[in-house]
Structure 1
Amino acid sequence: MKNKNILFRANSSFDIGTGHIMRDLVLAKKYSNAHIIFATENLDGNINHKIIEDGYKVHLLNSNNIEELAKYILDKHINLLIIDNYSIDYNFEKELKEKTNVEILSFDDTYEKHYCDSLLNHNIYGDISKYEDLVPENCTVQCGIQYTLLRDEFLNLNIQKKSIEKNDKLKVFIAMGGADSKNMNIHILEEIKKLNLNIELVTTRANTNLRLLEEYIYSKTNITLHIDSKNIADIIKGCDIAIVTPSVMVNEIIFFQMPFISIMVTDNQKYMHAFLKKKEIPCLKNTELKYLNEYIEKLYNPKDYNNQVEIIKNIINESLFIKDN
């Protein structure tokens, strides 16, 4: 897109997590010829440095105020506003549109009402029929697995079919979100400590419990901790199974056709959780960790493991992933 000024409105923090910014950075690459700015708040635990590292400008907002954002949009002659923020609702979008007439693209994960020109639900569970009464009549809705955003590091890898042999020692990939405000990593590690596993655990410096996690792992030779890793795809590729939240991380895991266990930790993950459960992917809530060992032990069986691989292949074959550039 030539001569276009695009503003992303998103936040990251200990409480919000890092997922919004990370997926926005993937989408930003699609607009390679545009001038892109990220408008964010300077919240505790933010990853604004990651935006700068990827080559984009950051504008710090004082608050989530319509007047402040509208003024900036007009001052910078913004053509397209991309909103990825659960705190910005239909009324906010409508007033902002009236003040600026800017084109609005809104991310949505939970079937909320929006006042926008286009809407993106890039989750594999996305159902376009649910937006019939939630967006303006002329809104373009991009919804479902065919719009899933994946980083180049995933798409550029040569994917091989996953398989195991009987009595293999499993290597487990664990990702409970960049912030992990509920300290799920340690709870999971404590639950599975009696199993014979090698573990690759990824997190970020936005993790509120990072010091506790580092102390917990310090003397455990079977666990490798990766902080702010730039080669997540390679780490996943080297594992046999994964334990992840029902978030955008699922999109990356199924791309590898890797069996995984999903653990829901927040209410906004309920749609992905329900979708995966319907597809017969092992799913737990964060209060059900006592069943985790049982699910893992089942995947030691090559037949059960291969059944999960086939289920995931069927999910992938429902449509195609789109490239992020």
Structure 2
Amino acid sequence: MKIAIRTDASVEIGTGHVMRCLTLAKQLVQEGMEIIFICRAFKGNSISYIETEGFKVFTLSASSDKNHLLWMRESWREDAGDTAQILQHLDKEIDLFIVDHYSLDENWEKEIRTLVRHIMVIDDLADRIHDCDILLDQNFYLNLEKRYEGLVPASCQMLLGPNYVLLRDEFLSIDINRIKHDGTIQNILVFFGGTDPTGETMKTLKAICELNLSDIEVNVVVGAANPQKEEIEAFCNQRPEFVFHCQVNNMAELMMKSDLAIGAGGSTSWERCFLELPALTIIVADNQKELSKAVASKGALYCLGESAKITSWHIGKKINELCHSPAKMIGMIHMCREIIDPEMVRKRLVVKKVMEL
């Protein structure tokens, strides 16, 4: 089976779409699938990284200086035409075309429909109509079963909820029973995604410094596309309790040794929940609002709110509170178990569904 994946990364878009697609791609390769990526070369793209992970990438040019999501919405027909041209020149027909892009909808998908056998959409916004055979939304919402009513064909197979989450093998291989937490905080993990365009990492590091938590180790992770990575590294190097990491491949290990994670309210939430890691989150993008509020309402994390309204003072105040509230920490651990079932996730339900096509 030959599979094509259309996704993008950029400073505005972030790297989350690419990372979850890479996770799925690697699992499909293990089942004998042939995978190609189609990406546009926006500033802050992940094309080179995808290639270093062993995948062929067909690159679409990016000449516009506009916001990348806006450009894609306005120029969807051009993007569909460029994508179709690539598909028409492949030596084999595409059996499954996977689309993971907030700017693409049924109009774009209909342009591609005649060139591929099946279309799978990865989404979590539920704000537009799709023409697809499979829809994956791996997130937790209070109205999960009704979010896509009227937005997908009646025949579409729906894969909904955190038990369908796409986790890398480094997470799936972990024995959750080996993780022991007693509610105390001795290690904090700070990670706000691959680009952190709103600068939450520096905001958080300053908050931790103001608390003088010299007995707590702080692991700070940034992506290679983070525009502040040199400043963050220099800041960490001045403090012995801070450890700087860039573009890591051992995130599961770092999470396992952590007692509290501080980060964005996106897809990393499921890695944290899978490892029963309490979290303090900040909403850095519109698509994180509903997810963050839903998970917070279950008590599996504490959401501070939207980044524009959050200062170092707010972050420090909550960290200090959690450092003195082991019972609240243990409560978050217990609720992580209510949201995600590690045994179901290990079954790789998305890969199984693709294999059935």
TM-score, normalising length from structure 2? 0.84
Q: Does 1:67 align with 2:84?
A: no
Q: Taking structure 1 as reference, are residues 317 and 10 closer, same or farther at Cα in structure 2, changes over 3 Å only?
A: closer
Higher mean C-alpha displacement, 302-311 vs 224-233: 302-311
Note the C-alpha offset of 1:7.
0.6
Kept in 1: contact 2:280–2:303 (CA 8 A): yes
1:283 aligned residue? 303
Q: Does 1:274 align with 2:310?
A: no
Q: Does 1:306 align with 2:324?
A: no
1:48 aligned residue? 47
SS at match of 1:243: strand
- Work out the CA distance in 2 between the residues paired with 1:87 and 1:100: 20
SS at match of 1:261: strand
Higher mean C-alpha displacement, 191-200 vs 138-147: 191-200
Note the C-alpha offset of 1:169.
5.5
- Work out the CA distance in 2 between the residues paired with 1:272 and 1:164: 27
SS at match of 2:22: helix
Q: Which of 106, 109, 114 is matched with 2:124 structurally?
A: 109
Identify the structure with the greater helix proportion: 2
2:180 aligned residue? 162
Higher mean C-alpha displacement, 307-316 vs 144-153: 307-316
2:101 aligned residue? 85
Percentage of pairs with the same residue? 30
SS at match of 1:299: helix
- Work out the CA distance in 2 between the residues paired with 1:317 and 1:260: 18
2:236 aligned residue? 217
Kept in 1: contact 2:179–2:256 (CA 8 A): no
Note the C-alpha offset of 1:182.
1.0
- Work out the CA distance in 2 between the residues paired with 1:9 and 1:294: 42
Note the C-alpha offset of 1:303.
2.0
Considering Cα pairs closer than 8 Å and 6+ residues apart, tell me whether 1 or 2 has the greater RCO: 1
> 2:40 is aligned with what amino acid?
E
Q: Does 1:121 align with 2:155?
A: no
Kept in 1: contact 2:163–2:341 (CA 8 A): no
The gaps in structure 1 that reach 5 residues or longer are: none
SS at match of 1:181: coil
Q: Taking structure 1 as reference, are residues 34 and 186 closer, same or farther at Cα in structure 2, changes over 3 Å only?
A: same
Kept in 1: contact 2:94–2:115 (CA 8 A): no
2:14 aligned residue? 17
> 2:139 is aligned with what amino acid?
N
- Work out the CA distance in 2 between the residues paired with 1:121 and 1:190: 35
Note the C-alpha offset of 1:186.
0.3
Note the C-alpha offset of 1:101.
5.0
User: RMSD between aligned alpha carbons?
Assistant: 2.0
Q: Which of 163, 166, 171 is matched with 1:146 structurally?
A: 163
Note the C-alpha offset of 1:216.
2.1
Q: Taking structure 1 as reference, are residues 284 and 158 closer, same or farther at Cα in structure 2, changes over 3 Å only?
A: same
- Work out the CA distance in 1 between the residues paired with 2:57 and 2:101: 16
Task: State how 1:128-277 maps to structure 2 within 5 Å.
Answer: 128-159=145-176, 160-164=178-182, 170-195=186-211, 196=213, 197-277=216-296
Higher mean C-alpha displacement, 288-297 vs 82-91: 288-297
Higher mean C-alpha displacement, 174-183 vs 11-20: 11-20
Kept in 2: contact 1:128–1:141 (CA 8 A): no
Q: Aligned pairs, how many?
A: 319
SS at match of 1:192: helix
Q: Does 1:28 align with 2:47?
A: no
- Work out the CA distance in 2 between the residues paired with 1:227 and 1:51: 16
TM-score, normalising length from structure 1? 0.91
